[in-house]
Structure 1
Amino acid sequence: MEYLSGGDLRGFMTTYAPIPIPAIRFIAAELICGLQFLHSRGIIHRDIKSDNILLDNNGHLKIADFGLAVMNIFGNAKTTGWAGTLEYMAPEILLEKPYNTVVDWFSAGVVIYEMATGRYPFSEDEIEENIEKALINDDPAFPKELDPQVKAVIKGLLDKSPKSRQKFVDNIKDHPFFTEINWTEIEGGKASPPFHLPPPPVMTSDAMKDVLSFSEATKPRMAKKNQNLFCGFTFADDGWKVVKQMQKAKTPNRRPKTPHHRSPTTESGGG
């Protein structure tokens, strides 16, 4: 796997809070591009949270941990299944309704709220039932001093209605909050982060031996039939590269609980 020395976004928020608006804008923009990339390939991540957003040594984002992801959700297709980390789960998942890629955008809204305020947007109660009720029924409270444009972005992403949320996401790159963003540079990984990370730790020979002896490093290469899943990603092991492109198939102070996966996931072609 690619080595990412910048740690995860939760650690970044804890270290650098409060995060300035330019950094929030840059991180949100890269997250948007990452989600659009996945969704264009029919992948719903289902566990977007600050712990699963990693940074490389320059401060660029990488979405990680696809253990709860579901694939081949294109067009009007939807899936079901109670999966994710509770505090970041969209209302439609909690209500056990069919859903599509728009659930990831709700989770992204929670992440951006955490970056902008240093708090969790809904109930701080430790009782899961109360957290679920808050996610389904409550609107987030915004600090008076919060930048109005980032507030508007968060409100659009945390919309309880999947249809309204999707409508907002369809035009999110045109939102005034992102006026200063050059999307071509962001998508090409050429934009410079408006912050500097400390240099990565030096990897000693003993530490390298431990890494190489780890069981994951000794596993056999991925089967050829699965290699096309990695087409177009920014990093791929030489053993995963293929020639053909993949074809479309017919908060800092709040540590989230363990991801949930209550029931098996099924796919349907419902509208």
Structure 2
Amino acid sequence: MIDLMTSHQEESHLVEFAYANFDKIFKTTRLLGGGASARVFLGEFFNGPACAKGQTLDEVVENLFVFSPTKSISIFLPIAEGLAEVHSRGIIHNDIKVDNILLEKNSDGSYTSHFIDFGLSRVEGGHLTLYSNPNDSHYVPELFKGLPCTPASDIYSLGVMISDFQNCFDNLWPPGVKRLCNQMLSRNPQHRPSLSKVIEVLRESLKELSLEVLSSSKADPTYHATCV
């Protein structure tokens, strides 16, 4: 097993989910409770009692009273940044989807992402062959061909998530993010953008959207920033 013990390092995007097979090491016993911000599970971790707490991306979205392109990008940016940390450790997640991402809300309203369920993860260059690819799957096409896992694998799955959110806003979505998403969903992994490029475009688009909201609010004193 790859030693990724970072569970006690603050601001880590892996937190207590520091092992590539955490979902197998942490044995869930039962749900202790939950509220608006998280659920807490009782279980065993290395034969000792432990708790795991978190709120998944889909739960965060369900609890947002107002959702918009600005809010979407402000959530996907820390997810992309968190994924960069996972990749910096030589790990490809291979199962990026809304219920495998926990979001921690910070005091300033921003989010920090944490990744869970590393059951399908591999070291970069490793192999994970999948045998059934349903339509609109978040799994990357090359894994059904026996090709090696690369950062581009996770970029495709991240692109699927962004595309799902993009479809909610149609023309309100920044053109730069639309182009980026199309590139992320390329069937050819070599044609997908790097994760650093994804982060760059999301940051720039977030700035542009924030300036538009600020400009609109100054032009119309009655304007309510419901799109943020």
Equivalents in 1 of 2:68, 2:157: separation in Å? 21
Which of 78, 81, 85 is the matching residue for 1:30? 78
Q: CA deviation at 1:168?
A: 4.4
Equivalents in 1 of 2:65, 2:180: separation in Å? 20
State whether residues 47 and 69 of structure 1, in contact with CA within 8 Å, keep that contact through their aligned partners in structure 2.
Answer: yes
1:114-193 maps to which residues of 2 (within 5 A)?
114-118=164-168, 143-165=170-192, 167-175=193-201, 177-179=202-204
| SS of corresponding position for 1:19 | coil
Which of 104, 109, 132 is the matching residue for 2:159? 109
| SS of corresponding position for 2:163 | helix
Equivalents in 2 of 1:9, 1:151: separation in Å? 21
Q: CA deviation at 1:60?
A: 2.5
TM-score w.r.t. length of structure 1: 0.48
* 2:98 aligned with 1:50: yes
After superposition, the CA RMSD in angstroms is: 3.4
Indicate the structure with greater strand content.
2
* 2:146 aligned with 1:96: yes
- Cα distance change of structure 1 residues 106 and 180 upon mapping to structure 2, 3 Å threshold: closer
Q: Which residue of 1 aligns with 2:27?
A: none
Q: Which residue of 2 aligns with 1:13?
A: 61
Supply the AA of the counterpart residue of 2:157: S
State whether residues 19 and 116 of structure 1, in contact with CA within 8 Å, keep that contact through their aligned partners in structure 2.
Answer: no
State whether residues 79 and 100 of structure 1, in contact with CA within 8 Å, keep that contact through their aligned partners in structure 2.
Answer: no
State whether residues 79 and 112 of structure 2, in contact with CA within 8 Å, keep that contact through their aligned partners in structure 1.
Answer: no
Q: Which residue of 2 aligns with 1:236?
A: none
1:187-226 maps to which residues of 2 (within 5 A)?
none
TM-score w.r.t. length of structure 2: 0.57
Q: Which residue of 2 aligns with 1:260?
A: none
- Cα distance change of structure 1 residues 105 and 84 upon mapping to structure 2, 3 Å threshold: farther
Equivalents in 1 of 2:205, 2:156: separation in Å? 23
Q: Which residue of 2 aligns with 1:41?
A: 89
Runs of 4+ deviating beyond 6 Å? none
Equivalents in 2 of 1:114, 1:57: separation in Å? 22
Q: CA deviation at 1:9?
A: 0.8
- Cα distance change of structure 1 residues 57 and 116 upon mapping to structure 2, 3 Å threshold: same
- Cα distance change of structure 1 residues 17 and 154 upon mapping to structure 2, 3 Å threshold: farther
Equivalents in 2 of 1:113, 1:155: separation in Å? 8
* 2:110 aligned with 1:70: no
State whether residues 46 and 83 of structure 1, in contact with CA within 8 Å, keep that contact through their aligned partners in structure 2.
Answer: no
| SS of corresponding position for 2:176 | helix
> Which runs of 5 or more structure 2 residues have no equivalent in the other structure?
1-15, 18-33, 39-53, 208-225
Q: CA deviation at 1:115?
A: 2.5
State whether residues 53 and 63 of structure 1, in contact with CA within 8 Å, keep that contact through their aligned partners in structure 2.
Answer: yes
